């Protein structure tokens, strides 16, 4: 007993207990649900069998039924459009802003930091604000589009199936741009300035310096940021709940919202778990890319 105690106070026992407790907590509350999720996707789960662990196994029936549903492929296509457009918008605008704020002028870093308020706001608040901005008849976005002559009439961002997904994408780009910008700024400031001085002496113009110095030096940062963008975009749920609820008629539904809808609106927990499992595979692939591009730091 005394040996255990002194090992706790003075040896590795203290360190091991410091790390074992949280890891146990995480494995119980994240690891177990993950396994349980996979298990449920192979089971028949209804409101009667919800309370028991021993539910009838149905093999791949949930997966087969899922892909027989007419809305499945359009929703996965929406997910792809949402992910690609959101990341492209966030990254390109974020990169542009980061490059602009990289030039030194008074107040640059403080103003740049101010952008991040979009990212610390609750998702539901962002969704509420954009719901109002995107509103069909009285939204300020439609007013600006009409006044500038880009559109003739009002675009019904939230209720027109052709535009509903794009309304959410717009809000999500606004939400995530600042985070991309801040991380890209960190990457930019790590590039040694003498590289640019040398290139300027050699007569390279701005575009050549960007292409031959900035982009190659930023490669691992860009990889990590794009992977993080994918991870965050696949986590986006609040904006859908606040702006369109996935509607009308699933036109703005994406897999991560649909999985919740199947479980908590239609009480089809097996289907919800099935969609979750499919999406988690994608998320894990993305995070492997992320870990790989930051690994040199992890292993430092």
Partner 1 sequence: MRHTFREKLMLAVALVFTAIYLFPLYWMFVTALKSGSAIFASPPALWPADPQWQIYAEVWQNRNMGRYIWNSLVIAFGAVAVISVLGTGCAYVLARYRNGWVDVGLFLILMLQVLPASLMITPIFVGFSQIGLLQYPRLAVILAIAAKSMPFFVVLVRTAFMSVPQELEEAGLVDGDSRVGAFFRIALPLARNGIVVSAILIFMQAFGEFVYSRSLIQRAELQPASIGLNSFMGPNTNEWNGIMAYATIYVTPILVAFVLLQRSIISGLTSGALK
Nearer to partner 1, 54 or 207 (CB): 54
According to the binding rule CB under 8 A, does residue 2 interact with partner 1?
A: no
Task: Check if the beta carbon of residue 149 is closer than 8 Å to that of residue 209.
Answer: no
Q: With CB under 8 A as the contact rule, which of the stretches 2-10, 58-66, 161-169, 201-209 interacts with partner 1?
A: 2-10
Three-state SS at 297? helix
Q: How far is the CB of 237 from partner 1 (least distance, A)?
A: 4
Q: Which of 4, 50, 198, 206 binds partner 1 (CB under 8 A)?
A: 50
CB of 296 to partner 1, least distance (A): 10
CA distances to 60, 118, 239, 254, 267 from 245, in Å: 29, 21, 9, 10, 17
48 touching partner 1, by CB under 8 A: no
Site for partner 1 in 128-187 (CB under 8 A): 128-133, 135, 137-138, 140, 143, 147, 174, 177-178, 182-183, 186-187
Q: Which is nearer to partner 1, 15 or 200 (CB)?
A: 15
* Among positions 122, 192, 205, 219, the unique one binding partner 1 when judged by CB under 8 A: 122
In the complex with partner 1, the residue whose CB is nearer, 163 or 256, is 256
186 to 245, contacts with partner 1 by CB under 8 A? 186-187, 221, 224-225, 228, 231, 234-235, 237-238, 241-242, 245
Between 202 and 283, name the residue whose CB sits nearer to partner 1: 283
Shortest Cβ 257–partner 1 spacing (Å): 7
8 Å CB contact between 160 and 169: no
Binding to partner 1 by residue 289, rule CB under 8 A?
A: no
Q: Is the Cβ–Cβ distance between 180 and 233 less than 8 Å?
A: no
DSSP state of 174: H
What is the C-alpha to C-alpha distance for residues 31 and 246, in angstroms, rounded to an integer?
Answer: 29
Query: Do the Cβ atoms of 241 and 158 come closer than 8 Å?
Result: no
94 contacts 187 by C-beta, under 8 angstroms: no
Beta carbon of residue 87, minimum distance to partner 1 (angstroms, whole number): 15
Cβ closer to partner 1: 138 or 207? 138
Is residue 80 within the footprint of partner 1 (CB under 8 A)? no
Which of positions 242-261 make contact with partner 1 (CB under 8 A)?
Answer: 242, 245, 256-257, 259-260
**Contacts for 147 with CB less than 8 Å, ≥ 6 apart:** none
Q: CA 154, CA 152: separation in Å to the nearest integer?
A: 7
Residue with tokens 């979750």: 276
The residue whose two tokens read 């927990």 is 269
Bond before 248 cis per omega within 30 degrees: yes
Please enumerate in sequence order all residues whose Cβ is within 8 A of that of 123, keeping only pairs 6 or more positions apart, or say none.
175, 236, 237, 238, 239, 242
Q: CB nearer to partner 1: give 36 or 73.
A: 36
Q: Could you say which of 1, 30, 148, 162 contacts partner 1 (CB under 8 A)?
A: 30
Between residue 91 and residue 110, which ones bind partner 1 under the rule CB under 8 A? 97, 100-101, 103-108, 110
Phi, psi of 214 (to 5 degrees): -60, -55
């Amino acid at each position: 007993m005394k040996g255990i105690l002194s090992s706790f106070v003075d040896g590795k026992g203290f360190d091991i207990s410091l790390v074992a407790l949280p890891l146990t907590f995480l494995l119980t509350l994240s690891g177990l649900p993950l396994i349980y999720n996979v298990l449920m996707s192979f089971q028949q789960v209804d409101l009667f069998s919800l309370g028991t662990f021993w539910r009838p196994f149905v093999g791949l029936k949930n997966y087969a039924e899922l892909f027989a549903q007419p809305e499945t492929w359009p929703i996965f296509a929406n997910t792809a459009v949402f992910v690609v457009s959101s990341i492209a918008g966030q990254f390109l605008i974020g990169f542009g802003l980061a490059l602009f704020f990289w030039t030194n002028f008074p107040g640059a870093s403080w103003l740049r930091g101010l952008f991040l308020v979009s990212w610390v706001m609750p998702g539901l608040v962002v969704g509420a604000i954009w719901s109002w901005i995107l509103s069909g008849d009285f939204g300020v976005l439609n007013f600006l589009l009409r006044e500038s002559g880009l559109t003739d009439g009002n675009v019904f961002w939230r209720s027109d199936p052709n535009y509903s997904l794009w309304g959410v994408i717009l809000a999500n780009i606004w939400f995530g741009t600042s985070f991309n910008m801040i991380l890209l700024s960190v990457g930019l400031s790590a590039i040694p300035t003498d590289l640019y001085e040398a290139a300027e002496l050699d007569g390279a113009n701005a575009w050549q310096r960007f292409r031959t110095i900035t982009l190659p030096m930023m490669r691992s940062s860009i990889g990590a940021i794009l992977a993080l963008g994918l991870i965050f975009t696949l986590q986006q749920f609040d904006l859908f709940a606040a702006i369109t609820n996935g509607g009308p008629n699933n036109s703005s539904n994406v897999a991560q919202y649909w999985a919740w809808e199947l479980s908590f609106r239609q009480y089809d927990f097996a289907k919800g778990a099935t969609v979750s499992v499919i999406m988690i595979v994608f998320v894990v692939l993305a995070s492997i890319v992320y870990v790989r591009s930051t690994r040199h730091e992890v292993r430092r």
